[in-house]
Amino acid sequence: MQLTHNENQFERKTFPITLVCDHIYFQQNIGSLFRISEAFGVENIIFLGKDIPLTPRKINKTSRSTHLHVPHRIIEETPDLISYLQENNFEIIALEITSNSKALKEVHLPENQKIALLIGSEINGISEELLKIAHQIVHINMFGKNSSMNVVQAASIALYELTS
């Protein structure tokens, strides 16, 4: 028998993970990122960019009201985000395929340190400025001809790996 939301036995837990969204603008993705962040106990979400469409009416369909439960903020400028991450001593992990990225399952999580998981825009990925400050750059091994996946799918896989 399928369990309801109230009947499941999952432990309620929050992880010291901040999901950093580099210029993600598609409303369906934003709503889904709230939903997956709430499911994996993400501490908060930072949206980088101007005019991020956080109108609840438009994201509620995919967020299923999780935008009401996951703390979030917008930082408009990249230098301000970089200062925030460095001043608050985050372990910065970028999810991107690069010439020096390693497989996600090889990620090293330092003990007792906050994690900033950087995910990139639907069009351009993570900016060079942010890749330069990443302590680790990781990718998801893929075995088909396509070398990319939707940002929400990728974030889901990464959050599962980081929290399990």
Q: Is residue 2 part of a domain?
A: no
Q: Tell me the per-residue pLDDT of 98-127, one tens digit each, with 9 for 90 and over.
A: 999 999 999 999 999 999 999 999 889 999
**What tens digit of pLDDT does each residue of 55-91 get?**
777 777 777 777 878 999 999 999 999 999 999 999 9
Residue 1 falls inside a structural domain: no
Number of domains the chain is built from: 1
Residue 82 lies in a domain: yes
Identify whether 75 is part of a domain: yes
In a domain, 90, yes or no: yes
Q: What is the CATH number of the domain that holds 115?
A: 3.40.1280.10
Question: 6-26, pLDDT tens digit by residue?
Answer: 666 667 778 899 999 999 999
- Whether residue 142 has pLDDT greater than 70: yes
Confidence of residue 3 (pLDDT cuts 50, 70, 90): low
pTM comes to 0.91
Residue at 21 is within a domain: yes
From 8, 1, 61, select the one nearest 39 (Cα to Cα): 8
Residue 111 domain-assigned? yes
In a domain, 157, yes or no: yes
Determine the structural domain holding residue 88 and report its residue range. 15-163
Query: With contact defined as beta carbons under 8 Å apart, do 96 and 129 qualify?
Result: no
